[in-house]
Amino acid sequence: MTLKALFLHGTVVIDGLLVSPLGEGALAAMGLAAALGGMVLGVIFAFSHAMQIRTAQAFGSGDQIFLKSVLASGLLIIASIGVLGVILVNIAAEPLLARLAPSPEVAGQARIYLTIFSIVILGEAVGQSIASYFNGCGQSKLPLYGYLLSVPVNVVASLGLIHGLWGLPAMGVAGAAIGSALAITVQAGLWSYLLLKRHGALRRVVGWQNGAFGPTIRRHLVFSLPIAATFVSATMATHVCSLIYANMSLNAFAAMTLIAPWNLLAGQVSMQWTQATGILVAQLLGQRAAGDVLDRFLSKAWIGAFIAATLVAVLFLIMCVSLDWIYPDLEPETRAILFGFLPILMVIQFPRATNAICGNTLRAAGDTVYVMHIFVWSQWAFRVPATVLFVLYFDLSAFWVLSLFLWEEVLKFPAFHRRVWRGDWKLRDVAG
C-alpha cells in the first residue's frame, strides 16, 4: 500500500518534470487543469477509502452476499461520482479558466488538457474502486501491479507525445494528458481483469445484504459519506490555508509551498501503516473477534506506527540537512526557514501516527460520524481561524504557522484516545 501511494503521488512530480521544458505557460496550463480535475479525483479517493474499510468488514465476515453488495454498491457510487464530476468540471471549465488563466493561450491549453484528462477521472473512478476492494480483501499487491505497469506507460507515452520523440507528434501539454489517459486505461484494464479472475464467482451469488439493491446502496452511502466528508474537508481546509499563506513574505510562502509535497510524500509511510491497521481491524470485527484479540493486535500495530513515525522523522532530518544539495538555487533565507521546520516535522509524526491509528480503528467499527466531527472541528474551528490570526493579524514567522499542524494533532489526541480506550467499538455489528 505504501509503495502504491508513493507511485501515485510521485506520478504528479514526474508529469511536472516532463512538461517543465515547455516553459511556465505549459506548467500553468497543466496546473490549472489538474487543479480542477483534482477536485473530482479527491472525492473519488475519499469514497474509495470508505469502500476499502467496508470491503474489509465484508471480507472478515466471510459473507459472500455482503462482499458482493459492497463491490457492486461501491463501484456504482464511485463511477457515478466520476461521470457527474466530469460533466460538472467541463461545464464550469470555460468561465473558470478564462478567469484564472494568466492569458488566453494558457486557458486554451488548459481546456484541451482538461478534456483529455476526463478519461483519467473516469478511469480512476473504476480503478480506485477495484483497488480499494483488493486492499479490503487483503490482496494489496494487486493494486501495486497496476502502478508498476502504468507508471512506465505514462512516462514513455508522455515523453514521446510531449516532445515528438520516436516519430510521434509533438503535442505539448495535450501529450502529457494523453500519456496519463493511456496509463490509467491500461491500469484500470489490468485491475478489471484481475477482479474477474479472482472474484468473478461473486456474479453468481444471489441476493443483497440489505434485502434489495436500493437499500444496500443507501447503507453503503450512510457509511461512506462521513468518511468522504472528512477527506473533502481536509482538502478544502488545506487549500484555504494555502491561500492565506500567500500573504506571508515571499521566502516564507516559498518555504511553506515547498514543504507541502515533502510532507505528503514522506507521510505515506506512517499513513499507509495506519490505513492497513484499519483494514485489518475491520476484518477482525467482521469475524467477530474477541476483545482481547483486538487489543493484542492494536498494541502491536501501535508499536509499528511508532516505528513508521520514527522512520519518517529520520527522513525529514536527512532532507533538512541536505537542503543545500536538494535546493541549491534557493535563497539562503528560504533554506533557513525550511531547516527551522525540522523540530516540528520530527515531533508531529508521533501524535499524527497514533491519532491515525485511533481514527482508522473507529472508522473500521463504523464510528465514522464521530471521527468526522473530530477532523472537521479541529480544522475549521481551530487551524483555519488560527492561520488567519497568525498570518494576517500577528504576522508570525513560518515556524509558528507550521506549528499549527502540530497543535491540531495535540487537540485531536484526547478525543480520539478516550473513544478508543472506552472500548465499546469492539462490540459493534459491522455487518448491518
- pLDDT bucket at 343, cuts 50 / 70 / 90: very high
pLDDT at 27 over 70: no
pTM of the entire predicted model: 0.80
Give the integer Cα–Cα distance in Å for 290 and 416.
Answer: 22
HSE of 59, CA atoms in CB hemisphere, 13 A? 22
The predicted model gives 65-83 an average pLDDT of: 92
Give the integer Cα–Cα distance in Å for 98 and 219.
Answer: 41
Placement of cell 500577528 in the chain: 394
Q: What percent of the chain has pLDDT over 90?
A: 31
Radius of gyration of the chain (CA): 22
Residue type (1 letter), 298? L
The predicted model gives 399-428 an average pLDDT of: 91
392 Ramachandran zone, left/alpha/beta (phi>0; psi -120 to 50) = alpha
Give the integer Cα–Cα distance in Å for 75 and 202.
Answer: 14
pLDDT attached to residue 350: 94
Which sign, positive or negative, has the C-alpha torsion 375, 379, 380, 386?
positive
- Burial class of residue 46 (count of CB atoms within 10 Å of its CB; 0-12, 13-18, 19+): buried
Can you read off the three cell numbers belonging to residue 208? Answer: 443483497
DSSP 8-class letter at 22: G
Going along 43-194, which residue ranges are E strands?
none
**343/255: higher pLDDT:** 343
pLDDT attached to residue 12: 60
Give the integer Cα–Cα distance in Å for 81 and 24.
Answer: 32
pLDDT attached to residue 147: 82
Which sign, positive or negative, has the C-alpha torsion 77, 79, 83, 86?
positive
Lowest-pLDDT choice from 2-6, 280-284, 320-324: 2-6
